[in-house]
Amino acid sequence: MIATAWRVIGVGFSLLVILTAALLHGVDPQQADFAGSYAGIHTYISFGVRTDDLTVLMLAVVGVVSACVQVYSIGYLEKRVASYTALVTLFTAAMVTVVVSDSLFLLLIGWEVMGACSYLLIGHYWERQDARAGAMKAFLMTRLGDVGFLFGIFVLGVAGDTFRISDLHADQMSSPALTAGTLLLLVGVVGKSAQVPLQTWLPDAMPGPSPVSALIHAATMVAAGVFVIARLFDLFTAADATLTVLAIVACVTMVFAALCAMAAVEVKRVLAWSTVSQLAIMFAGLSLGTRDGRHAALFHLLTHAAFKGLLFLCAGVLLHQVGSAAFVVLRRYTRRGVLRKAMPVTFVTMTIGLGALAGVPGLAGFFSKDSVVEAAWDHARDGSTVGWVVLVSVCLTAVMTAFYCVRLWLWVFFRTPALAGALGAFEADDPMADLEDPDTSKLHDGSWLMLAPLILLAIAAAGLGYADGVHIDWPIALVTTVLALFGALPAYSLWQRGADPRPVLLEREFGVDSAYQRLFVVPVQWFAKLAVGGDRDVIGGYVRAAGKAGTLASEGFRRLQTGNVQTYLTAAVVGVVALAILAGVIGS
Amino acid sequence: MPLILPLLLAVLLFCLGVYGVLARRNAITILMSFELMLNAVNLNLVAFDAWRLDGLATGQTLAVFVITLAAAEIGLGLAIVLLLFRGHGHVDADTARDLREQPELQENEL
Amino acid sequence: MTTALFSIAGAVAVVAAVVVVTTRRIVHAALWLVVALGAVAGCFGALHAEFVALVQILVYVGAIVVLVLFALMLTKAPTNPLPALTTRRSPFAAVVAGVLFLLLGTGVVIAFGNKKIKPVPAGAAADVGTAVFRVWVLPFEVLSVLLLAALIGAIVLSQRSGKLSEPDETVSSSGKGDD
C-alpha cells in the first residue's frame, strides 16, 4: 500500500518535472529569490531559482529518465519497494534542485542530497557485501570531492561577493581567486562525475539495482558535474588553468575508462566504464572553452542520457531474467543462441543503445560525438594545443568505444560458431562452466512495464540526434565512422575466433584500486587501528583503571570491616593519636 | 607535691587501660580495662581539684559521679557480656564478628 | 609525706594494672583489679579526697569487682592460665598505647611540668555533700535517672525470653542487680 503510494508519487513527480520542462520551454530566462539571510555583514546568501535553456534541457532529461526509471522499477523491484521508490524520488528532486538553483548553496544542498541518495540506493541490496562496500566507496569518494566543492563555493562566493550564480561574473574577481575557486569546484565535479583520479567508485557501484544505475549514469549524479561546469561556464572559461586541468583530466579519463571497459567481463561494469569515458568526452567538450564546445557537451549529455539509460535498463532486464549480468553467465544462455530469441525487445533496444554508444551513423551518439569532435577540430585549427589533445583523445576513445560495444554485443547475444557451443574465453571465470545449459524455457522479455521505458528510450537514442537540427560535417562524419569501424572490426574478428584477450593490466583497471588500497585505505585502517587501540588501551585503560581502583579499594575496605570491635577501636585510637600528633606538629 | 605525679600516673593507667581494651580477648577483661581508664580519669579529676581548690569540690564531685557512671556501665556491660555468652557460648571479643559483612550479602553483591 | 604515700600507692596501682592487662588467668586479673582500684583509692586519700576514696572502695571493690567475679563465674571462665588471652594484635595495641602514653605524657609534662599542689586541707564528706546538694543537684538527679535507665536496661538485656530464644545451656540470669 505504502509502496503503491510512493510509486504514484514517484511517477507523478517525474511527470511533473517533464511538464515543468515543457512549460518552461521557450520562456525567457527568469530568476527569483524566495528566501535568504545575511552571512556576515554584506554577504547575502539567497536561495534563488532560475530558469533558462540549460535548466529546461536538464529538467527534460531528468524528468524523462526518472519517469522511465520509476515505471521500469515497478516491474523490476520486488523488495523494499517503498524506501527504494522514495529515495529515487528524492534523488530526482535533488537533481532538480541542483538544476534550477540560482544559489551556490542551494546547489550544494541538492548536490549533497544526491550523494546521500546514491549511497543509500547503491546499498539497496545491503545484504550483499559488495553492495555495502560499493555504497561506502561511492559515498566516501564523492564526499572527498565535495570538500573541494564546498571550499570552491566559499572562494567563489567571497571573491564575487555574492552566492547568486547569475550575479557571479569572472571580471568581478581576482584571477587567483577565480582559478582557485574553479579548481576546487573541479575537485567536486571530478568526484561526482567519477573522473580520474576519483573514478573507481562508479564501477564498484554496480551492485546497486540497475534502474538506479540508469538514473545515476544518465540523468542525476554524474551528469550533475557536467551541469555545474556548464552552469558556471563563464567562470571556467575565464580560468585558463582550470580548463587545462579539466582537459587533461578528461582526456586521461576517457582513454583510461575506455581501456578498462575493453577488458571488463560484466555488462554493467562495461557500461559503467563507458559512462566514465563518455562523461570525459563531455568534459573535454567543455574544456575547449568555446560556445560550440559547451553546446556539443550538452548535446552529448542529452543523447548519452538516452542511450546510457537505455543500456542500463536493458542490462537490468538481463539481470532480472538471468540473474546475473556477467559475461560468463550470459554466455551459458547464449551459446545456443537462446538469449536473443527469448528476449527480442531487449535485444533490439540494446542493439540500438550500443549502436548509439559506439557511434553508428544515424543514431544519437554519432551526432553528439561528432559535434564534440567538430568543436575540438575548430578549436584545434585556431591553434589550440588543448583542442588537438582533445581531438586525438576523443578519436582514440571512439575507436575503443566501438570495440567494447561490439565486443559486448557479440559475446552476449551471439553464439560463436568457432567455439561450437563452448563458453569461450570466459570459461576460466566460471568453475561451473561444464554444467548443463540452464533452463531457458522460462526466459522471456519481462513485463511491458519494463519494456515500455526501453522502447521509449530506444526511440530517443535513435532519434535525439536529429533534435539539434541536422548538420553534418561530412569529412568528420566520415572519419569518425571509419574510426568506429577500426574499433569494431578487431572486436568482430576476435569474437569469431572465440578469443577475448584481456591484458592483465586492463583487467585490473591499471591497479588503481589496489594502489589506492595501499596508499590510502591501509594507512587509514592503520590509523583507525591506532585510534581504536589508543581508545581501548589508553583512554579505556584509564576508565578501566578507575573502575578497577574503585573495585580494589572497596575490596580492601571490605576487608577492613572485620566485625571485630577491637580492630575498629584500634583504628579509632590510632586515628586520634595521629590527629593529636598532627595538631601538635601544626600548632608548634 | 608536684602536680605532674598524679597526672603521669593517670596517663599510665589510662594507657594500660587502652592496651587492655585493644589487646585483651576476653570481654570481661576488656570491661576491667575500662575500669582502669575510668580510674585514671578520676585520678585526674581529683588531682586537679586538689591543685585548684575552687571551694566547690568540683573535681571530687565529678569523680563521684564518674564512679556512679562506672557502676551503671559495668552493669550494662556485664549484661551484654552475658548475652554474648548465651548467644555464642563464649565471651571472646575477637571471634564475635557478627558485625561483619554477611556471606549471603556478599553473594548478592558480586 | 603525702608525696611518698601517693608514690607508693601509685606504684602499687601501676603494677597491679599491668598484671590486670597482662595476666593469663582471668580470675587473677579480676583480683588484681581489686588491688589496683584499692591503690587508686589510696592515691585519692593521699590527695585528701577521702570521701572519693571511700566511695571508690565501696562501689568499685565492693560492687563492681564482685559483679565482675559473678560474671566470670556465669561465663564459666576457667581459673587455669589460658594460652591466648590476648589477640594477635596485642603488639600493635602495645605500640599504640605506648605512643599514646608518650603523647599524653609529653603534653602533661609540657603543660603542668612545674606546677605544685599546695598542701591541701583534709577533705571532709561534708564539703562534698554540700557541693553535691547545693551546686550539683541537677546533675545528681540526672544521674539518678541514668542509673534507673541502666537498671532497666540490664534487666531487659539479661531476660531470657525475647528474640534470642536459642536453645542454649542453662545460664541463670540472676544476680544481675545494680547499684
- pLDDT tens, position by position, C93-135: 899 999 999 989 988 898 888 888 887 776 678 888 888 888 8
Query: How far apart are alpha carbons A453 and A444 in whole angstroms?
Result: 17
When pLDDT is averaged across residues B9-31 and rounded to a whole number, the result is 90
Supply C75's cell numbers. 561465663
Nearest Cα neighbor of A464 from A362, A351, A349, A364 is A364
What is the band of C169 on the pLDDT scale with cuts at 50, 70, 90? very low
Q: How many other CB atoms sit within 10 Å of the CB of residue A537?
A: 11
**C-alpha to C-alpha distance for B33 and C69, rounded to whole angstroms:** 14
For B20, the grid coordinates are 587492655
CATH number of the domain that residue B26 is part of: 1.10.287.3510
What does the alpha-carbon distance between residue B57 and residue C42 come to, in Å, rounded to a whole number?
Answer: 18
Between CA A15 and CA A64 the distance in angstroms is 8
* A64's grid cell: 524523462
Task: With CB atoms and an 8 Å threshold, state whether A570 touches C96.
Answer: yes
Q: DSSP character for A337?
A: T
Q: How many domains does one find in chain B?
A: 1
With contact defined as beta carbons under 8 Å apart, do C16 and C30 qualify? no
A558–chain B nearest CA distance, Å: 8
Residue C175, pLDDT score = 43
Measured between beta carbons, which residues in chain A are less than 8 angstroms from residue B23? 566
pLDDT at A431: 55
Taking only the tens place, the pLDDT of each residue in A535-574 is: 888 888 888 899 999 999 888 887 777 778 888 888 899 9
Residues of chain A with pLDDT under 70: 39-42, 335-337, 417-442
Q: Which amino acid is at A508?
A: R
Tell me the three cell numbers of residue A228: 555545474
Q: Rounded CA gap, A563 and B99, in Å? A: 4
- Per-residue pLDDT tens digits for A208-256: 888 888 888 887 888 888 899 998 888 888 888 888 899 999 999 989 8
For residue A34, the SS3 value is strand
Q: Please state, as a whole number, how many other Cβ atoms lie within 10 Å of the Cβ of residue A500.
A: 18
3-state class of A47 per DSSP?
Answer: strand
pLDDT interval class at C176 (50, 70, 90):
very low
Is B94 in CB contact (< 8 Å) with chain A?
yes
Q: What average pLDDT does the structure give for chain C?
A: 82
* The dihedral formed by the CA atoms of B86, B88, B94 and B96, expressed in degrees to the nearest 10: -100
Q: Which of A562, A569, A573 sits opposite B97 (nearest CB)?
A: A562
Q: The complex's ipTM?
A: 0.85
| pLDDT for res C170 | 46
Q: What is the pLDDT of residues C48-106, one digit of tens each?
A: 888 889 999 998 888 888 888 888 888 877 777 776 677 777 888 899 999 999 989 98
B30 touches C: beta carbon within 8 Å:
no
Chain B CB contacts of A562 under 8 Å are: 97, 100
H or E segment to which residue A399 belongs: helix A385-413
Domain residue ranges in chain A: 239-507, 518-587
pTM over 0.80: no
Full DSSP string of A497-559: TT-----HHHHTGGGHHHHHIIIIIHHHHHHHHHHHHIIIIIIHHHHHHHHHHHHHHHHHHHH
pLDDT score of C171: 47
**Average pLDDT of B88-98?**
80
- CB-based contact A565 B93, cutoff 8 Å: yes
Q: d(Cα A449, Cα A432) in Å, to the nearest integer?
A: 33
Q: Do A570 and C92 touch (CB under 8 A)?
A: yes
CB contact under 8 A, C103 and A577: yes
* pLDDT for residue A425: 61
Which residues in chain C are contacts of A581 at CB distance < 8 A? Answer: 103
Report pLDDT for A440: 63
Against chain B, the chains showing at least 3 CB pairs within 8 Å are: A, C
The H-assigned helical ranges of A25-171 are 53-76, 81-100, 104-122, 129-160
User: What pLDDT band is residue B105 in, cutting at 50, 70 and 90?
Assistant: low
Nearest CA-CA distance, residue B34 and chain C, Å:
11
Task: Give the range of the structural domain holding residue B29, as residue numbers without chain letter.
Answer: 4-109
CA atoms A542, A546, A547, A548: torsion sign: positive
Q: Which of the four pLDDT bands, split at 50, 70 and 90, describes residue B101?
A: low
- Within 10 Å of residue C53's Cβ, how many Cβ atoms? 24
CB neighbour class for C84 (10 Å; exposed up to 12, middle 13-18, buried from 19): exposed
Alpha carbons B56 and B64: distance in angstroms, whole number: 14
